[in-house]
């Protein structure tokens, strides 16, 4: 289904950029333009401007610019069509579609909408019970208070309570005109042997929202001691809830993720809420399932930096490491922060209080590969077999990083940290990659090459170098890689020098000596004189 040109023209005609932007940020007039603190990067003085006469915005801090539609796409993380629909809704334009939707499509759309309406109703019902029923107050509300949740946060996350009864929601919803079929399809009630009953009973309720903030599912925690029932249950998958695609808290986190250019990943609903209480809002959790590639893709729409918060127990950390390889494979920069033994983000945030907790995050977050290297080598120091295993583990993680330059940087660091010859590590890396490429791809093919820029830029930024020095360092690193590893196979038949020369094609080196070396290297390559040899271990130019 495509939106008709007339509809798009009508929306463009009505749309005023300042009206759209001021739905999200407060604009102040200065001269011809309007100004605000940029919603896309952290800043204290406004460098984000809107030019109503031209219908565009531009940030002089981070460079983001565009028209009303691109503003909405950027801010809400929406596609073009979705952004048009949002504007159509704002300006009351009815959307005409070019092709008539098939009856099946209309039916599917209507059904999804019915599910969402029922879920919204249920969310309101659970909230009402929390605040207004005796049971909800005595059990549900007092549990939230015990956890340190204040009224504001309970309302922000729309937390609720389900009565300990078989037909609380069922009766109420049917009395209000909801069709039991829809209630069943939305996962709210269960049908078994001609009986119908509530799925959520005697539990506190955590609604799960989609990106635009509509309720699509529920998580629920039991409070009374009952060993026959699981502590947490979740809505089943429905037409509007695909567990593998939904991250808990993302609708509240997206703006903060963008501003901080980082996303914290935690395990549970209460971890997310506790972090919000501590003033950390760029946080999400996978809801009712372990982390998937789809989850990571959702996050990467907003940032390429992910920080995983680990509970302080080593067995637990090791169990969740596999999931992280998947994040590396998606090209994100991963950092890790571990809490002291016996603490999780929720408990520790409560213990430390707002400013100490934020400081803890800032000071204890480390690069993931470095973190993993530490973790595995700590116990393996004097044990050669354990050490070998550790190295394999670490190199295996590095092998998931799809950017060859990033991989090379990590290998060098590991070789320092582990006191191992860099070339031995390279051999190991190549054999892992080769091994994996023989196996059928389990999780689809997503070896998109990415540029190492962000990681490198950040490392260099910390060292307070001038732009010229940075460029020079980058050139030096390129030369170092070329001279040492040009014939290493980085993927399938593809050699490192092929990749690098391709990347460097349009670039002119600014440091004369490196430019000269590169020229000589290319000449030697043409004469087939480049050997599998390490021409220099470190460049001390």
Site residues, Zn ion (CB under 5 A): 38, 40-41, 59, 61-62
Q: Which two tokens stand for residue 365?
A: 């977050």
Residue number with CB closer to Zn ion (22 or 423): 22
Q: Give one DSSP letter per residue of 89-117, joined into a string.
A: HHTTPPPPBSSPPPHHHHHHHHHHHHHHH
Q: Give one DSSP letter per residue of 17-84, joined into a string.
A: HHHHHTTTS--EEETTEEEE--SSS--SS--EEEETTTTEEEETTT--EEEHHHHHHHHHT--HHHHH
What is the nearest approach in angstroms of Zn ion to the Cβ of residue 77? 16
Residue number with CB closer to Zn ion (259 or 390): 259
Residue number with CB closer to Zn ion (25 or 169): 25
Rounded to an integer, what distance in angstroms lies between the CA atom of residue 161 and that of residue 176? 19
Largest Cα span, the chain: 86
**Residue 232 pairs with which residues in a beta bridge?**
221
What is the nearest approach in angstroms of Zn ion to the Cβ of residue 87? 22
Residue number with CB closer to Zn ion (41 or 370): 41
Q: b/e map of 305-323 (b: 16 or more CB within 10 Å)?
A: bbbbbbbebeeebeeebeb
Q: Give one DSSP letter per residue of 463-500, joined into a string.
A: TT--HHHHHHHHHHHHHHHHHHHTT-EEETTEEHHHHH
Q: Where are the alpha helices (DSSP H) in 216-320?
A: 250-260, 269-277, 293-300, 314-319
> Closest Cα partner for 459 from 410, 401, 390, 394?
410
What is the nearest approach in angstroms of Zn ion to the Cβ of residue 317? 36
**Residue 34 pairs with which residues in a beta bridge?**
29, 50
Residue number with CB closer to Zn ion (40 or 264): 40
CB of 502 closer than 8 Å to CB of 450: no
- Length in residues, the chain: 541
What is the nearest approach in angstroms of Zn ion to the Cβ of residue 48? 6
CB of 227 closer than 8 Å to CB of 239: no
Residue number with CB closer to Zn ion (65 or 174): 65
Rounded to an integer, what distance in angstroms lies between the CA atom of residue 273 and that of residue 267? 11
CB of 250 closer than 8 Å to CB of 211: yes
What is the nearest approach in angstroms of Zn ion to the Cβ of residue 57? 10
Residue number with CB closer to Zn ion (41 or 112): 41
What is the nearest approach in angstroms of Zn ion to the Cβ of residue 458? 18
Residue number with CB closer to Zn ion (262 or 478): 262
Residue number with CB closer to Zn ion (64 or 243): 64
What is the nearest approach in angstroms of Zn ion to the Cβ of residue 65? 9
Residue number with CB closer to Zn ion (61 or 312): 61
Q: Which two tokens stand for residue 431?
A: 């054999």
Please identify which residue in the block is written with the tokens 């993931």.
368
What is the nearest approach in angstroms of Zn ion to the Cβ of residue 361? 23
What is the nearest approach in angstroms of Zn ion to the Cβ of residue 38? 3
Residue number with CB closer to Zn ion (61 or 148): 61
What is the nearest approach in angstroms of Zn ion to the Cβ of residue 450? 22
> Closest Cα partner for 122 from 29, 199, 64, 49?
199
Please identify which residue in the block is written with the tokens 């993680």.
397
What is the nearest approach in angstroms of Zn ion to the Cβ of residue 80? 22
């Amino acid at each position: 289904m495509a939106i008709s040109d007339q509809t798009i023209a009508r929306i463009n005609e009505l749309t005023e950029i300042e009206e759209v932007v001021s739905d999200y940020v407060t604009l102040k007039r200065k001269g011809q333009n309007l100004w605000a603190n940029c919603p896309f990067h952290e800043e204290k003085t406004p460098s984000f401007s809107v030019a109503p006469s031209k219908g565009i915005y531009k940030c002089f801090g981070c460079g983001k610019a565009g028209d009303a539609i691109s503003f909405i796409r950027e801010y809400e993380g929406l596609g073009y069509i979705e952004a048009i629909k949002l504007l159509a809704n704002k300006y009351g334009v009815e959307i005409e579609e070019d092709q008539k939707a098939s009856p099946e499509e209309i039916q599917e759309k209507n059904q999804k909408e019915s599910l969402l309406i029922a879920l919204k109703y249920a969310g309101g019902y659970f909230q009402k019970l929390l605040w207004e029923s005796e049971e909800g107050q005595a059990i549900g509300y007092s549990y939230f208070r015990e956890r340190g949740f204040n009224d504001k946060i309970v309302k922000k996350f729309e937390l609720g309570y389900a009565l300990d009864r078989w037909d609380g929601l069922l009766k109420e919803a049917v009395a209000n005109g909801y069709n039991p079929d829809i209630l069943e399809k939305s996962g709210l009630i269960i049908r078994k042997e001609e009986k119908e009953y509530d799925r959520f009973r005697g539990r506190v309720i955590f609604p799960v929202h989609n990106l635009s903030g509509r309720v699509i599912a529920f998580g629920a925690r039991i409070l009374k001691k009952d060993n026959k029932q699981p502590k947490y249950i979740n809505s089943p998958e429905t037409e509007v809830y695909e567990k593998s695609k939904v991250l808990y808290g993302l609708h509240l986190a997206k703006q903060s993720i963008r501003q901080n250019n980082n996303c914290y990943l935690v395990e549970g609903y209460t971890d997310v809420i506790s972090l919000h209480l501590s003033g950390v809002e760029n946080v999400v959790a996978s809801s009712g399932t372990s982390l998937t590639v789809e989850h990571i893709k959702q996050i990467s729409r907003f940032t390429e930096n992910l920080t995983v918060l680990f509970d302080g127990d080593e067995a637990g950390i090791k169990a969740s490491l596999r999931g992280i390889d998947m994040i590396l494979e998606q090209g994100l920069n991963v950092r890790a922060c571990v809490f002291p033994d016996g603490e999780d983000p929720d408990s520790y945030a409560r213990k430390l209080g707002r400013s100490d907790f934020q400081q803890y995050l800032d000071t204890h977050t480390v690069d993931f590969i470095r973190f993993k290297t530490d973790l595995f080598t700590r116990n393996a120091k004097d044990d050669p077999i354990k050490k070998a295993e550790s190295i394999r583990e670490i190199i295996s993680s590095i092998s998931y990083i799809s950017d060859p330059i990033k991989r090379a940087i990590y290998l060098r660091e590991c070789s320092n940290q582990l006191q191992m010859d860099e070339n031995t590590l390279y051999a190991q890396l190549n054999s892992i990659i080769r091994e994996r490429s023989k196996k059928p791809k389990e999780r689809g093919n997503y070896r998109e090459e990415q540029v190492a820029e962000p990681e490198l830029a950040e490392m260099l930024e910390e060292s307070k170098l001038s732009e010229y020095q940075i460029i020079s360092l980058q050139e030096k690193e390129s030369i170092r890689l070329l001279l040492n590893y040009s014939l290493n196979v980085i993927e399938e038949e593809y050699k490192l020098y092929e990749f690098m020369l391709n990347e460097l094609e349009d670039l002119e080196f600014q440091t004369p000596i490196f430019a000269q070396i590169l020229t000589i290297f290319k000449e030697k390559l043409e004469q087939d004189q480049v050997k599998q040899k390490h021409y220099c271990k470190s460049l001390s130019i």
